[in-house]
Structure 1
Amino acid sequence: MSLPFQSAAILGAGLMGRLLAVTLARAGCNVDLFDAASPTADGAAARVAAAMLAPLAESAVAPASVVRMGHYALTRWPELLAPLAQPVFFQREGTLVLWHRQDAAEAARLARVLARTTQQVPELAPMQTLDGSGIAALEPSLGQRFAQGLLLPGEGQLDNRALLSALLATLENSPNVQLHWQSPRAPSDFSPGAPGQPDRVIDCRGLGAKPQWNALRGVRGEVIRVHAPEVALQRPTRLVHPRYPLYIAPKPGGVFVIGATEIESDDMSPASVRSTLELLSAAYAVHSGFAEARILEIATQCRPTLPDNLPAIRQPHPRVLQINGLYRHGFMIAPAVLDAAMELLVHGRSQLAQSLGLEISDT
């Protein structure tokens, strides 16, 4: 890829900032990456996430454009992971959807939504209906605990923290990348194109960009990480829940990520007792082995969200690009947003964004 510029300042070293920095550096660009926090991404929404790649499952709360971006990412992620400096756990064993008898009506409604999605986005693999023996064949540890379920084939997940670490290691090994930690910056701190200044400024700060993008709001999520060596689940499992979609995502080393509440608030205080009880009780209802799990972390984070809950790229000034609004779908749609942004930077337009329904504007 031939870039029409030689240098870029990227603001924000969360998921999107790191992906862009690695991609631009590999293309020969001199990159300065600025972040208000530390290399551990402790201020990034990406650190508190399950990193599930589940476009059909997410269609319960997301429109077709997000589903298409998620489907695009399923084959793009292995290409992005392969050249990184460290290995990253990635799998595509599908998503298992389960429900208790009292939630059968809600499960039937969800199944209708998923069926409509596969009509709108026919490239998705259709869901498969499971009985108790079918569930046990996929997840023997669940036995006959559930009488019915759905398998969403081909969906996947990755290890979010391993990915952030691998991106960091790759950047640290890149001779044309300068990393600036505890260094908050805004687009107004630069005059892109002027002597001694970067050719481009790319703002990926999430909620940190709210002063420049007033429509942004925070949507709070609460996630629990546990170590449960007695639990054996091979794939992300979603439990139909009357208040919010609950998931259990198995990670390497017997670690499970359990989430996620969704609260319209930018409150970053610790998780509530109610949310914690609901999440842990639901996990125990799926597998009794969670009773002996050890709680590693109860974390909260606010996802950067625009009014329509959709991602957007905009160019408010010449040579300045802003990327934001990835909401709860960050890992699922990041490759599509990355590739669309790169097309825009190289060609001044993005055919990919147009085909997937990703908004690009000049305001």
Structure 2
Amino acid sequence: MNDASDIRHPTSGSLNIGIAGAGLLGRLLAWKLLQQGHHVSLFDRGSREGELSAARVAASMLAPYSEVASAERQVFDWGLMALRWWPEQIALLEQQTGQTIHYGMAGSVVLAHDLDKSSLRHFEQQLQAKVPDHLDGVERIDRERLRSLEPELADRYSSGLFLADEGYLDNWALLLALEIAISKLGGKWYEHREVVSVAPKRIVLSDETLAFDWVVDSRGLGAKAQLPGLRGVRGEVLWVHAPEVNLQRPVRLMHPRYKLYISPRPGNRYVIGATEIESESMQPVTVRSTLELMSALYSVHSGFAEASLLHAFAHCRPAMPDNLPVLNGEVGLLTVNGLYRHGYLLSPQLVEQALAMLAEQTADSVAV
């Protein structure tokens, strides 16, 4: 076991920080802390490619309006902050790494087939109740307005909603850029290392215990034994390549049983999802889910009939009982978890709060 007295600080004020869990939150915090001059070590049960992270199995849409319809107002307010935060951080990441991170902030379109228009009206009513002070971001559109936004959908839909303050980003490119930036800044990766438990200033592995000035626990479901109430919510997504489809922004299709979403990626690739299952099963995507998603996808745009199925992913997203994230701090330990289905929407606010909490508690401990 390493002793805390062995920790060295080459620069005044720098801390030795261990981060358990190198998913979206772990990477963002590592990147930010390294830029502040701290020494950061990341521990993850998978590799630095993030193949075991829920952050990789996501449409990564930035959709505060779409999400608040079935969530707390906090999700919307934090989501608006994310729309401002991400472009600045992406620009900095691209500058540091030379990687391109594709993203779009041109709004999203919400549609429904004629038989399902009641679902669309209900969705609009939910927005009117949840965000009455931000309805200027909700525009009812007719066929001609839709043609100006997404020309290839106008022949199938006569009306819908345009949510101007929504967007998306390429999560795979982002995770790769974060990995490169962290490595360039001197972050240490401990791949394929299962964290058994965490404690203030301690990370416990199966074969050793390591000491740090501070520990951040961002393990997602890996923290279930230590975070009461944490549960997994299964989600499934498909990746397709559709050369005959040209969508510029995310599209949601309202349906009585599910809400299909389509998030664009470079090169006529699209991420499709809808499923949200109260289960912690990590089994592959089911045939039933695939058939339902594909059928709904074809109903949106006939060009998807010729699409190639690239990937079918399933993962469990960590969630607390109220489906809101948790951020707890004590001297030597920060716990941040429970992003549920809002990872890319809520992580900016959580990251900034965690950094502020770490700075405040560090200053308090020094003063004492």
1:140 to 136, 144, 151: 151
What secondary structure, in the 3-state scheme, does the structure 2 residue paired with 1:161 have?
A: helix
Query: For the structure 1 residues 291 and 252, does the alpha-carbon distance in structure 2 shift closer, same or farther, using more than 3 Å as the test?
Result: same
SS of the aligned residue for 1:327 comes to coil
Residue in structure 2 matched with residue 339 of structure 1 by the alignment = 352
Partner SS state of residue 270, structure 2: strand
Counting only pairs closer than 5 Å after superposition, residues 86-165 of structure 1 correspond to structure 2 as 86-119=99-132, 122=133, 125-165=136-176
Specify the alignment match of 2:322 in structure 1.
308
Q: How far off is 1:238 after superposition? A: 0.2
Please name the residue that 2:5 is paired with. none
Name the SS for the 1:221 alignment partner.
strand
Tell me the residue number matched to 2:60: 51
Check 1:3–1:144 CA distance in 2 against 1; reply closer, same or farther (3 A cut): farther
Q: CA deviation at 1:4?
A: 6.0
SS at match of 2:234: strand
Give me the CA root mean square deviation: 1.9
Partner-residue secondary structure (3-state), 2:92: coil
- Relative to structure 1, the CA distance from residue 17 to residue 230 in structure 2 (aligned partners, 3 Å threshold; closer, same or farther) is same
Residues 147-168 of structure 1: CA deviation (Å, up to 9, x unaligned):
1100000211000000000000
1:155-234 alignment runs, 5 A limit:
155-175=166-186, 177-188=187-198, 191-192=201-202, 197-234=211-248
Matched, 1:263 2:277: yes
In 2, Cα distance between equivalents of 1:150 and 1:228: 24
Which amino acid letter does the alignment assign opposite residue 46 of structure 2? A
Number of residue pairs the alignment of both structures matches:
342
| 1:209-237 residue CA offsets vs partner (Å, 9 max, x unmatched) | 10111311110001000000110111000
SS at match of 1:157: strand
Distance 2:64 2:82 in 1: 9
2:335 and 2:73 map into 1 onto residues whose CA distance is: 23
Aligned to 1:318: 331
Contact map agreement 1:217 1:305 (CA 8 A) in 2: yes
SS at match of 1:338: helix
SS for the counterpart of 1:137 is: helix
Cα displacement string for residues 2-21 of structure 1 (whole angstroms, at most 9, x for unaligned residues): 99651100010100000000
Counterpart Cα distance in 1 of 2:12 and 2:335: 18
Deviation string, structure 1 residues 189-218 (Cα, Å, up to 9, x no partner): 77459xx82100000000011011131111
Detail structure 1 runs of 4+ shifted over 6 Å in the superposition: none
- Give the partner amino acid of 1:67: F
Aligned partner of residue 253 in structure 1, secondary structure: coil
The structure number with the bigger radius of gyration is 2
Q: What is the alpha-carbon distance in structure 2 between the residues aligned to residue 190 and residue 115 of structure 1? A: 44
Alignment TM-score, normalising by the size of structure 1: 0.90
Could you give the per-residue CA deviations for residues 301-329 of structure 1, whole angstroms, max 9, x where no partner exists?
000010000001113x5311110000000
Q: Give the distance between the partners of 1:63 and 1:214, measured in 2 at CA.
A: 21
After superposition, what is the alpha-carbon deviation per residue over 1:121-176, rounded to whole angstroms, capped at 9, x for unaligned? x357420001112111211111321011000002110000000000001011112x
- Show the counterpart of 1:77: 86
Q: Distance in 1 between matches of 2:111 and 2:130?
A: 19
CA contact (8 A) 1:57 1:95 kept: no
Contact residue 261 and residue 275 of structure 1 kept, 8 A: yes
1:354 maps to what in 2?
none
Find the aligned partners of 2:139 and 2:198 in 1 and give their Cα distance: 51
Task: Select between 79-88 and 61-70 the one with higher mean Cα deviation.
Answer: 79-88
Cα offset, 1:186, TM superposition: 4.0
SS in 2 for 1:57: helix
Distance in 1 (alpha carbons) for counterparts of 2:211 and 2:225: 22
Aligned partner of 2:366 in structure 1 is none
Shift of the 231–301 alpha-carbon distance from structure 1 to 2, 3 Å rule, reads same
Q: Distance in 2 between matches of 1:209 and 1:4?
A: 29
Contact 2:324 2:339 in 1 (8 A): yes
Query: Matched residues in 1 for 2:275 and 2:246: separation?
Result: 24
Q: Aligned partners of 2:340 and 2:135: how far apart in 1?
A: 22
Partner of 1:360: none
Question: 1:244: Cα distance to partner?
Answer: 2.1
User: For the structure 1 residues 168 and 197, does the alpha-carbon distance in structure 2 shift closer, same or farther, using more than 3 Å as the test?
Assistant: same
Specify every segment of 5 or more residues in structure 2 that has no aligned partner in the other structure, as ranges.
1-10, 204-209, 363-368
How many angstroms apart in 1 are the aligned matches of 2:158 and 2:216?
50
2:312 pairs, out of 287, 298, 314, with 298
